Amino acid sequence: MNLSALYTPPVAVGHRWERLLGLAGLWILLTSQLHAADSNRLTLVSPHPQEVKAEFGEGFQRWHEARYGTKVTMDWRDLGGSSEIQRFVESEFRAKTNGIGIDIFFGGGPEPFLALADKQWLQPWPGGQKALLGIPAKAAATDVYDEEFRWFGAALSSFGILQNNRVQKQLGLPHVERWEDLAHTNCFRWVGAGDPRSSGSMNNMYEAFLQAFGWNRGWHLLTEIAGNVRQFDRISTTTAKDTSLGQVAYSFAIDYFAFIQIAAVGKNHLEFTLPKDFTAISPDGIAILKGAPHTQTAERFLEFVLGETGQQLWFLPRGHPDGPHRFSIERLSIRPEFYDRYRGVSPIEINPFQLQQTYRYDSRLARKRRDIVRSLFGSILIDVHPELQKAWGTMIARGIPATDRDDFGMPPITEQEALQLAANDAWIKNAEYRTRTKLQWQVNALKKYRRLAQSR
């Protein structure tokens, strides 16, 4: 095979991640072409940690060999978080519209899957309707799967606060029960959070604030919490680990990452709290990509993940005969009957199908403004975090004057302006325009925080 003939030089771009994705795309293209004839191979991109990949990879291999008599080679590709994977997949499909040599996108919130479905880059699975028997269309008013069977919730995630009770007791810090409590002045520099530009789960959490509290109140609250944040982590798993290690006393956390840390250090030291002001439930997606080179094996993988055997890996403890063999995963199942069947057996105590709340996460609204929200968050809260934190500390020392507080948390654009910008061709297609806009947000934020830090 002439491998050089498979390579089309990437268009020159200014962003480092685009250059890296171009190299990653070449690597994936070459190896996928080499393995295209291997029908018992499955190529997956996933933001899941190695524990999940190991359990579902090995579990599927056992299931497939028992059912079909053949082994499957699992080819996992690590491209970072779900946001980074989405950018890579979109970049590849723009160059190769009939397929990019990858079978499965496994993991992450609903927005990437909605975006890829709208662009016709997900492959519908006709067998999905049969596989979904016993799985409701919604959980806590949130869609569990796509009605056209293009993407599916492989598990459910709840977003909450992981707390280190030991650190709180030693330092006299408050135990929190609401998201708003993370803005309390006693929490200064003791909160952990992640960067939504690289973590889709963190983007979902921050978007949930904007929907639950409203645009202006949501940004005010996020800005004050950012003042209490020790640092913004690129990978959301790091945030939960920092809480376990006592680097922070509170952190934004997906239930799964929280449960891993609780299992490691014990319930006496760590606690996962579903805040009383609102609880966000989100499906953790899975889909077959358009032009998947191993469609039959990909469909079988979806059948395994959505079926009882795969769902048991999420829900049951390590060591249970039907549970994971090597790693405890602990995720919310999409099958409601599991919560009664395995009560007292599973470590999962949250039943998302019984949550009663008026708040509903609008995934389509989130997708429309996803790039605006994460860009705005990065420009005014993360890239200028030292100045933001200094201003917040100064305001705390002055008793947080009401006028300063209003100024501190006011976003630079309205909700309507954000939606208009998200639909603007200049934002969508012009990298220079995007960079200039984000830089202007950053410069204005810097001026504001420095002014507030100097106020008397």
Q: State residue 456's pLDDT score.
A: 62
Angle at 11 between CA 5 and CA 14, to 5 degrees: 145
Res 7 pLDDT > 50: no
Q: pLDDT tens digits, residue range 368-406?
A: 999 999 999 999 999 999 999 999 999 999 999 999 999
Lowest mean pLDDT among 112-121, 358-367, 372-381: 358-367
344-361 in b/e form (b: 16+ CB < 10 A) is eebbbebbbbebeeebeb
Eight-state DSSP code of residue 187: G
Please check the confidence at residue 237 and state whether its pLDDT lies above 60: yes
> Do residues 158 and 279 lie in contact, with contact meaning Cβ atoms separated by under 8 Å?
yes
User: Can you give the pTM of this predicted structure?
Assistant: 0.77
- Stated length of the chain: 456
Superfamily assignment of 3-155+282-353 in CATH?
Answer: Periplasmic binding protein-like II (3.40.190.10)
Dist. CA 343–CA 341, nearest whole Å: 6
Structure confidence at residue 50 (pLDDT)? 92
Whether the Cβ atoms of residue 185 and residue 400 lie closer than 8 Å to each other: yes
- Looking at residue 84, its pLDDT comes to 86
User: Where does the pLDDT of residue 8 fall: very low under 50, low under 70, confident under 90, or very high at 90 and above?
Assistant: very low
The three-point CA angle 25-28-30 to 5° equals: 105
Q: Where are the beta strands (DSSP E) in 203-351?
A: 229-233, 250-254, 270-273, 280-288
Residue pointed to by tokens 């998947």: 292
Task: State residue 4's pLDDT score.
Answer: 39
Report the amino acid identity of residue 216: N
Q: What is the pLDDT of residues 130-156, one digit of tens each?
A: 889 999 998 877 889 999 999 999 999
d(CA 106, CA 111): 13
Phi and psi angles of residue 274, each rounded to the nearest 5 degrees, phi first: -90, 110
67-110 tens-digit pLDDT: 999 999 999 998 888 888 999 999 999 999 899 999 999 998 88
Domain spans in the chain, listed from the N-terminal domain onward: 3-155+282-353, 369-456
Task: Name the strand (E) or helix (H) holding 423.
Answer: none
C-alpha–C-alpha distance, residues 69 and 61, integer Å? 10
Partnered with residue 163 across adjacent β-strands are 250, 271
Distances (CA, A) of 168 to 132, 171, 271: 44, 5, 11
Positive or negative torsion for Cα 273, 344, 48, 355: negative
pLDDT-above-90 percentage for the chain: 69
User: Two tokens at 383?
Assistant: 């890239």
